[in-house]
Amino acid sequence: MAKAPDPLKDVSLPDDIEASPKVELDAVQKGFRERAQQEAQRFEDATDTGYYTCLVFESRAQLDAFLGGIGMLNQGDLYLDGREVAAKLGIALPSADRRGGSAAKIDPKLSALSR
């Protein structure tokens, strides 16, 4: 997850020492609200199943013929990265907006186990 920006970075504190804590608190609360909105969107994106699909064939031979035809026979057969399939088929995909976090950090050891 991306580090949250400092909510006090651009806050100008008043000269009145009694008003200063209220200004700081308002800025921190605003930062929490913004971060909560980002996290809610990130959670929705991460748990949305509307970007999955399933291909069904009549036999294993048909599946192997399909995967061989797109040059992905040895790339796995149960779960395929749609971005890789699209690249093999020459399909340009729009970029995904992943608000609230940085790029995924995939453990290479776990990735090797999945192949």
User: Looking at the predicted structure, is the pLDDT value of residue 66 above 60?
Assistant: yes
Q: Round to whole Å and give the CA distance between 51 and 34.
A: 26
Which tens digit of pLDDT belongs to each residue from 23-44? 889 989 998 898 888 888 888 8
Which tens digit of pLDDT belongs to each residue from 2-15? 677 888 888 888 88
Any idea which residue has 């970007």 for tokens? Answer: 51
User: Looking at the predicted structure, is the pLDDT value of residue 100 above 80?
Assistant: no
Mean pLDDT of the 85-112 span: 78
Q: Round to whole Å and give the CA distance between 94 and 59.
A: 33
Residue 106 token pair:
């995939």
Please, which residues have CB within 8 angstroms of residue 13's CB and are 6 or more apart in sequence? 20, 23, 24
- Count of helix runs (H) and strand runs (E) in the chain: 4, 0
